[in-house]
Structure 1
Amino acid sequence: MLIRLPNWLGDALMSSPVYENLKDQEELILFGPASFINLFEDFPNCRILPFYSKDSKKNLQNLQNLKVYKKERGLLLTNSFSSAWLFFRAGLKERMGFSTDARGLLLTKKVPPPPKRMHQRDKYLYLLEKLGYSASKRDLILYLREEKINQAKSFLKGLGINPHQNKMVLLAPGAAFGPAKKWPVEYYKSLAENIIKKGIKVLIVGGSKEIQDGDFICHGLKDAINLCGKTEITILAGIFTLSMALISNDSGLMHLGAALKIPQIAIFGSTDPILTGPLNPKAIVIKKDLPCSPCFKRECPKGHYECLKNVSPEEVFQRLEEILI
Structure 2
Amino acid sequence: MWLVRLPNWLGDAVMATPVLAALGQEGPVWLVGRSFLRPLFEAFPGVAGFEELREGRGGLLRTARTLRGRGFTRGLLLPNSFSAALLFFLAGVPERIGYAADGRRFLLTRAVPRPRQKLHQRDYYLGLLSALGRPVAEKELWVQVPEEARRRAEGLLSGVSGPLAVLAPGAAYGPAKRWPLERFGQLAAELLRRGFSVVFVGGEGERAPVQGLLSEIPGARNLCGLTDLATVAAVLQRAAVFVSNDSGLMHLAAALRRPQVALFGSTDPEATGPLNPRARVIFRGLSCSPCLARTCPEGHYRCLGEISVAEVLEATLEIAEVGE
- TM-score w.r.t. structure 2 length? 0.95
Check conservation: 1:70, 1:91, Cα contact below 8 A: no
Paired position in structure 1 for 2:14: 13
Query: What code does the residue aligned with 1:103 have?
Result: R
Q: How many residue pairs align between the two structures?
A: 320
Match of 2:259 in 1: 263
Q: How does 1:15-164 map to 2 (within 5 A)?
A: 15-157=16-158, 161-162=159-160
Amino acid across the alignment from 1:19: L
Q: Give per-residue Cα distances to partners, 1:269-289, cap 9 Å, x unaligned.
A: 011100000000110000112
Name which of 159, 180, 190 aligns with 1:194. Answer: 190
Amino acid at match of 2:64: L
Q: CA deviation at 1:57?
A: 5.0
Give the secondary structure class of the aligned counterpart of 1:56.
coil
Q: Report the counterpart of residue 295 of structure 2 in structure 1.
A: 299
**Separation in structure 2 between the aligned mates of residue 267 and residue 288 of structure 1, nearest angstrom:** 9
Tell me the equivalent position of 1:175. 171
Residue 302 of structure 1 deviates from its aligned partner by 0.9
Per the alignment, residue 230 of structure 2 pairs with 234
- Structure 1 residue 50 displacement after superposition: 3.2
Once structures 1 and 2 are overlaid, which stretch shifts more, 99-108 or 205-214?
205-214
Task: Look up the equivalent residue of 1:24 and give its one-letter code.
Answer: Q
Select the residue among 230, 244, 250 that pairs with 1:248. Answer: 244
Q: Is the 8 A contact 1:29 1:47 kept in 2?
A: yes
Q: Deviations over 1:229-260 (max 9, x none)?
A: 11122111111101111100000000010111
Counterpart of 2:310 in structure 1 is 314
Per-residue CA distance 1:150-179 (angstroms, 9 max, x = gap): 33112322xxx24xx442111111111111
* Residue 101 to residue 57, structure 1, CA distance change in 2 (3 Å): closer
| Mean CA deviation greater in 303-312 or 45-54 | 45-54
TM-score, structure 1 normalization: 0.95
Q: What is the Cα-based RMSD across aligned positions, in Å?
A: 1.4
CA distance in 2, matches of 1:38, 1:134: 29
Task: State the Cα distance separating 1:290 from its structure 2 match.
Answer: 1.1
Which segment drifts farther, 132-141 or 178-187?
A: 132-141
- Which amino acid counterpart does residue 11 of structure 1 have in structure 2? D
What secondary structure, in the 3-state scheme, does the structure 1 residue paired with 2:138 have? coil
Stretches of structure 1 that go unaligned for 5 or more consecutive residues are: none
State the percentage of identical aligned residues: 44
Structure 2, unaligned runs of 5 or more: none
Gap change, CA 1:53 and 1:65, over 3 Å in 2: closer
Tell me by how many angstroms 1:59 deviates. Answer: 3.2
Q: Please, which moves more after superposition, 29-38 or 47-56?
A: 47-56
3-state secondary structure, aligned to 2:111: strand
Contact 2:185 2:217 in 1 (8 A): no
Which amino acid is the alignment partner of residue 21 of structure 2?
E
Q: Secondary structure at the match of 2:157?
A: helix
